[in-house]
Amino acid sequence: MADETPPSPTPASRSAEGASTKRTRRSLMEWGIHLLAALATAMVALPVLGTLLSPIYARSKSENWVTVGASDQFPDGETVKVVFKQVKRDGYMESEHPVTVYVSRQADRYTVFSATCTHLGCAVNWIGAEKKFQCPCHNGAFGPDGKVLYGPPPKPLPQLQARVNGDGQLEVLAI
Ligand code: FES
């Protein structure tokens, strides 16, 4: 009968085995450290990235075209006052604000002026007979093209983007 007892490990083979186990433990620990470092980096980087990208996301979300009426309801060559409601979002809060604009039509071209004076923010009025926007606060005035005629306003009336949609409705890009 042959002796089938496996040969007992020599001190050299035991030492090699121990080194291999140490290497495995070491690589496991290194892997764990790398994982923790990656998680820590992600915890710092993701909020920063979110903050940096949020204006882009907010801008695309806030692009808000508002219908202000049928385009043919605005007489050619005239300027008409329109008030529409704009929804504003502040975090989780939503509120509606009335926005006053003046729509000026020249054939198929629609120009939409903000009614807010560029001096101190009073609401201007369109004086059709004099073809000008008059500000009641400090006697500022703007021409039919929105440019300053006289008074303290430092710049022309702001214009809002406008378009006529496929249904013939005039839409304004609310800011
Ligand atoms: S606020 Fe309009 S002129 Fe001052």
**pLDDT tens digits for range 80-99:** 999 998 888 788 888 888 99
Query: Would you say residue 63 has pLDDT above 70?
Result: yes
Query: Would you say residue 14 has pLDDT above 90?
Result: no
Pocket test residue of 124, 135, 142, 155 for ligand 1, highest count of atoms within 8 A of CB? 135
Helix (H) / strand (E) element for 24: namely: helix 11-62
Determine the pLDDT at residue 133.
Answer: 98
Cα-to-centroid distance, 31 and ligand 1 (Å): 67
Distance CA 8, CA 56 (A): 70
Pocket test residue of 117, 124, 133, 134 for ligand 1, highest count of atoms within 8 A of CB? 117
Distance CA 106, CA 113 (A): 14
Cα-to-centroid distance, 155 and ligand 1 (Å): 11
Strands 132-134 and 64-70: unpaired
Determine the pLDDT at residue 164.
Answer: 96
Percent of the chain with pLDDT over 90: 55
Are the C-beta atoms of residues 141 and 123 closer than 8 Å to each other?
no
Determine the pLDDT at residue 1.
Answer: 46
Pocket test residue of 100, 125, 132, 138 for ligand 1, highest count of atoms within 8 A of CB? 138
Segment 109-126, tens digit of pLDDT: 999 999 999 999 999 999
Percent of the chain with pLDDT over 70: 81
Are the C-beta atoms of residues 174 and 86 closer than 8 Å to each other?
yes
Q: What sign for the dihedral angle of Cα 150, 151, 155, 159?
A: negative
What are the two backbone dihedrals, phi and then psi, of residue 119, each rounded to the nearest 5 degrees? -80, -80
Residues paired with 70 in a beta bridge: 169
Q: What predicted TM-score, i.e. pTM, was given to this entire model?
A: 0.65
Q: Would you place residue 134 in the very low, low, confident or very high pLDDT band (cuts 50, 70, 90)?
A: very high
- Residue identifier of the C-alpha nearest atom 1 of ligand 1: 120
Are the C-beta atoms of residues 64 and 173 closer than 8 Å to each other?
yes
143 lines ligand 1 (CB under 6 A): no
12-19 CB contacts, 8 Å cutoff, 24+ apart? none
Distance CA 64, CA 171 (A): 10
Are the C-beta atoms of residues 131 and 144 closer than 8 Å to each other?
yes
151 lines ligand 1 (CB under 6 A): yes
Determine the pLDDT at residue 132.
Answer: 98
Are the C-beta atoms of residues 161 and 173 closer than 8 Å to each other?
yes
